[in-house]
């Protein structure tokens, strides 16, 4: 693990979490916006904290240090996802029950759809004409090849 990979992971995972929060807010604008905004702020703080720790001078093996930071980041992201899940679950429980709307009367029966016309059948003459036309093309091609061969 190196610094570049760590920074990319921080960008991706924290950004993905914030996208999930924003999606919840877009889908449910009337629900728990303050709570979700607080979780988003925690995610931004986590982002800044991880970037600062990543940019700090490291003594010793850098790979081990960055692997530890990565593990810490995943633990904190998991905790944020748990908070978001709890908020969403509490919102589902707090949903006011809607009264059932009266059912609309069924529309009057409409006319059945018209049947499709059967495909036009080829006449006997048209069927016989196709092979004759193909044979004529082949014989014409043979004669032109023969004519070219005799010219040479």
More confident site: 149 or 32: 32
pLDDT band of 88, cuts 50, 70, 90: confident
pLDDT band of 112, cuts 50, 70, 90: low
pLDDT at 91: 80
Please state, rounded to an integer, the average pLDDT across all residues of the chain. Answer: 79
* C-alpha distances out from residue 46 to 22, 67, 140, Å: 17, 16, 81
Residue reference for tokens 């950004």: 15
User: Residues near 94 by Cβ (< 8 Å), separated by ≥ 6?
Assistant: none
Instruction: Answer yes or no: is pLDDT of 147 > 80.
Output: no
User: Residues near 62 by Cβ (< 8 Å), separated by ≥ 6?
Assistant: 2, 3
- DSSP 8-state code for residue 116: P
Q: Under a CB-based contact definition with an 8 Å cutoff, are residues 55 and 4 in contact?
A: no
Q: How far apart are the first and last CA of the chain?
A: 75
* Cα–Cα distance, 129 to 110 (Å, whole number): 46
Q: What is the mean pLDDT of residues 6-17?
A: 94
Quick: pLDDT tens for 77-86: 999 999 999 9
More confident site: 16 or 127: 16
Percent of the chain at pLDDT exceeding 90: 44
Residue 109 CB neighbours (<10 A):
6
Quick: pLDDT tens for 125-144: 666 666 666 666 666 656 55
């Amino acid at each position: 693990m190196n610094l570049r990979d760590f920074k990319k992971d921080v960008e991706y995972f924290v950004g993905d979490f914030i996208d999930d929060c924003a999606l919840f807010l877009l889908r449910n604008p009337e629900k728990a916006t303050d709570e979700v905004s607080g979780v988003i702020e925690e995610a931004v703080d986590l982002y800044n904290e991880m970037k600062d720790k990543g940019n700090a001078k490291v003594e010793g093996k850098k790979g081990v240090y960055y692997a530890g930071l990565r593990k810490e980041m995943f633990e904190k992201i998991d905790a944020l996802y748990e908070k978001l899940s709890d908020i969403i679950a509490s919102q589902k429980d707090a949903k006011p029950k809607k009264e059932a709307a009266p059912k609309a009367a069924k529309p009057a029966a409409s006319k059945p759809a018209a049947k499709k016309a059967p495909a036009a059948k080829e006449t006997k003459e048209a069927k016989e004409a196709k092979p004759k036309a193909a044979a004529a093309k082949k014989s014409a091609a043979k004669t032109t090849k023969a004519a070219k061969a005799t010219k040479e």
